[in-house]
């Protein structure tokens, strides 16, 4: 090492589980406004109950009202369950809700080929959009986990 060179230091930031904001509470409550269709449940990583809410109008409105009080706990579960990374869950969900048939969320995730396919076919005639609603959190979690793994490999 030269006279003026500092040793390389690598710092790892410790963030307690449940602290990282993968899913914004405010966005969960905005989705809850459309909760009769299960939007908040899909957003919060509960696709099968979201589908149930969609088919039963929020369990005839009763489950929808109960979820008003359960959402903070569901958000905490998401924060502990999903990997933080370059792809933000909130942005991806907003892009899916706003322009899913145009593939905006796919472009954001770096899936350019399927983004173009969605753009040209209306989200594969909306079937692809339904698939993405059911699997969006897992898709993003896989992307973010792969980036963390690649970073760990590069740093060793």
Domain boundaries, the chain: 22-81, 86-156
Compute the distance between CA of residue 45 and CA of residue 22 in angstroms, rounded to an integer. 11
* For residues 18-44, average pLDDT: 90
Q: How far apart are CA 56 and CA 120, in angstroms?
A: 32
Query: CA 93, CA 89: separation in Å to the nearest integer?
Result: 6
pTM: 0.82
Radius of gyration of the chain (CA): 19
- Does position 21 have pLDDT exceeding 90, yes or no? no
């Amino acid at each position: 090492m030269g006279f003026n060179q500092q040793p390389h230091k690598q710092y790892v930031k410790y963030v307690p589980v449940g602290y990282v904001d993968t899913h914004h509470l405010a966005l969960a409550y905005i989705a809850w406004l459309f909760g009769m269709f299960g939007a908040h449940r899909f957003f919060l990583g509960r696709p099968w109950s979201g589908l149930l809410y969609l088919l039963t109008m929020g369990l005839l409105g009763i489950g929808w009202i109960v979820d008003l009080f359960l959402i903070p706990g569901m958000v905490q579960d998401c924060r502990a369950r999903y990997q933080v990374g370059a792809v933000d869950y909130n942005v991806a969900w907003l892009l899916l809700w706003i322009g899913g048939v145009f593939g905006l969320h796919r472009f954001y995730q770096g899936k350019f080929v399927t983004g173009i396919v969605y753009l040209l076919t209306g989200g594969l005639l909306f079937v692809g959009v339904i698939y993405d609603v059911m699997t969006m959190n897992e898709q993003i979690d896989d992307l973010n986990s792969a980036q963390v793994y690649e970073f760990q490999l590069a740093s060793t």
